[in-house]
Structure 1
Amino acid sequence: MAGAVGDRRNGVTDASPNPLEQPLVWIDLEMTGLDPERDRIVEVAVIVTDGALERLEEGPDLVLGAAEQSLKDMDPVVVKMHELSGLTEAVRASTMTVEEAEGYVLEFVTHHVPLARSAPLAGNSVHADRAFLRRYMPALEAYVHYRNVDVSTIKELARRWYPAALEQAPRKTGGHRALADIRESIDELRYWRGAIFKPVR
């Protein structure tokens, strides 16, 4: 029964007693800026992993349409970023609404994580993504756990405590596209797990 404790689908469990089997919901957004009250979501992607980061279920990777004025109002840095990645052209060609995108992503997440509020939201600087989810995709934001797994926090701590490990950390090449950025976030967390998280003896 969907939503039951210990429900398992495609190898990811939402309420397993084994923490390594408990899922993480990785979501990345591309936006027209960083202000949820003014700016808009223009791309969303999602991946579900288990706690060991080994089993991946890649979900929707969606480009949303946006009003031309929203694109014109972007900061010049964001304009250049989205033009270089090809996202601006894709946004102009898309007719998908934010409500439709939320429905697709939420359907995927509930299929792989049947128990609401059991899986943390994961990513880099994921608090910014959550703020936009809360504003534009509230049902999706409410479904994931209130806790975040923020890979950027680990990087900032490593910068202070393990600078040698930081020197060897994987470099970002995702080009500010949502799915590629999630894949890199997962790879980065795998790196930190091996580089600085050591078993207690």
Structure 2
Amino acid sequence: MGVKTLKDPLVWIDCEMTGLDVERDALIEVAVVVTDGDLTIVDPGMDVLITPPAGALENMNDFVRHMHTSSGLLEDLKTDAVSMEDATEQVLSYIKRFVPQEGKALLAGNSVGTDKMFLEANMPSVINHLHYRLVDVSSIKELAKRWYRAAFSESPEKHGGHRALADILESIQELEYYRRVLFPSEPVTTERAREVAREVVALGIPTMGEQAEA
């Protein structure tokens, strides 16, 4: 699929860190997969390991250390890691191969707000190339949990093992699952959409002033 034909692109990113505190923890792995708006994967994806700053690995808690040891990430860091500058260049160049236009592709992933936070702190040029909106699969999952319990309960089991590229592919699979079970295969008609919009508006949303008076 050529760059010019890539419609509604999604840039799927998953990060592995030494913890969740962006002020003290380090970004150590970033993987990227690009899809079109129909979740068609346009390339197998890329993955890069990043040399952590001094002390970052020592500061990991036991849970994170066990997770990254079991996945093989800590061992791979010893031989395959590059500098943050080199990693940023690799990630941005990869994205631009498929989405050269700035601000066109949406960032996608699972609980991707955390990934975005670490990317903003460590790879701002990557975030600046993407649209400000996100596609977060975990949001759809949480809505399914509340409104469509069977769909939530039967979602595909995950086996990614906390490696970034495998986690991304499972996130794409998960969104495809929810797309099939939660979203109608036949698009809603304009007439029906307008009817539902009128119904929702008629329900009313109290303003802050009305809430205070109540």
Q: Determine if the TM-score, normalized by the shorter chain, exceeds 0.5.
A: yes
Q: Which of 4, 9, 14 in structure 1 is aligned with 2:2?
A: 9
Q: Which has the higher strand share?
A: 1
In structure 1, what is the equivalent of residue 199 of structure 2? Answer: none
Structure 1 residue 11: deviation in Å? 6.7
**Counterpart residue identity of residue 85, structure 2:** E
What is the TM-score with the length of structure 2 in the denominator?
A: 0.83
Q: For residues 53 and 66 of structure 2, what CA distance do their matches in structure 1 show?
A: 18
Runs of 4+ displaced beyond 6 Å: none
In structure 1, what is the equivalent of residue 56 of structure 2? Answer: 70
CA-to-partner distance for each residue in 1:51-110, whole Å, 9 max, x for gaps? Answer: 001243233211112245211101111001000000011112234011111101100111
In structure 1, what is the equivalent of residue 87 of structure 2? Answer: 101
Q: For residues 109 and 179 of structure 1, what CA distance do their matches in structure 2 show?
A: 15
Please say if residues 13 and 32 of structure 2, whose CA atoms lie closer than 8 Å, have aligned partners that are also in contact: yes
In structure 1, what is the equivalent of residue 110 of structure 2? Answer: 124
Structure 1 residue 134: deviation in Å? 0.3
Please say if residues 12 and 49 of structure 1, whose CA atoms lie closer than 8 Å, have aligned partners that are also in contact: no
Correspondence 1:22-61 to 2 at 5 A: 22-61=8-47
Counterparts in 2 of 1:110 and 1:30: CA distance versus 1, 3 Å = same
Q: For residues 12 and 184 of structure 1, what CA distance do their matches in structure 2 show?
A: 25
**Counterpart residue identity of residue 87, structure 1:** L
Range with greater deviation from structure 2 (137-146 or 62-71): 62-71
Please say if residues 12 and 109 of structure 2, whose CA atoms lie closer than 8 Å, have aligned partners that are also in contact: yes
Q: Which of 126, 131, 156 in structure 1 is aligned with 2:142?
A: 156
> Larger Cα Rg: Structure 1 or Structure 2?
2
In structure 2, what is the equivalent of residue 110 of structure 1? Answer: 96
RMSD over aligned CA atoms reads: 1.5
The percentage of aligned residue pairs carrying the same residue is 49
Q: Which of 121, 127, 136 in structure 2 is aligned with 1:141?
A: 127
Structure 1 residue 172: deviation in Å? 1.1
Q: Classify the secondary structure of the residue corresponding to 1:53.
A: coil
Q: For residues 105 and 153 of structure 1, what CA distance do their matches in structure 2 show?
A: 25
Give the number of aligned pairs: 187
Structure 1 residue 147: deviation in Å? 0.5
What is the TM-score with the length of structure 1 in the denominator?
A: 0.88
Q: Classify the secondary structure of the residue corresponding to 1:117.
A: coil
Structure 1 residue ranges without an equivalent (≥5): 1-7, 14-20
Structure 1 residue 200: deviation in Å? 1.9
**Counterpart residue identity of residue 184, structure 1:** E
In structure 2, what is the equivalent of residue 185 of structure 1? Answer: 171
Structure 2 residue ranges without an equivalent (≥5): 190-214
Q: Which has the higher helix share?
A: 2
Structure 1 residue 148: deviation in Å? 0.6
Range with greater deviation from structure 2 (27-36 or 85-94): 85-94
In structure 1, what is the equivalent of residue 188 of structure 2? Answer: 200
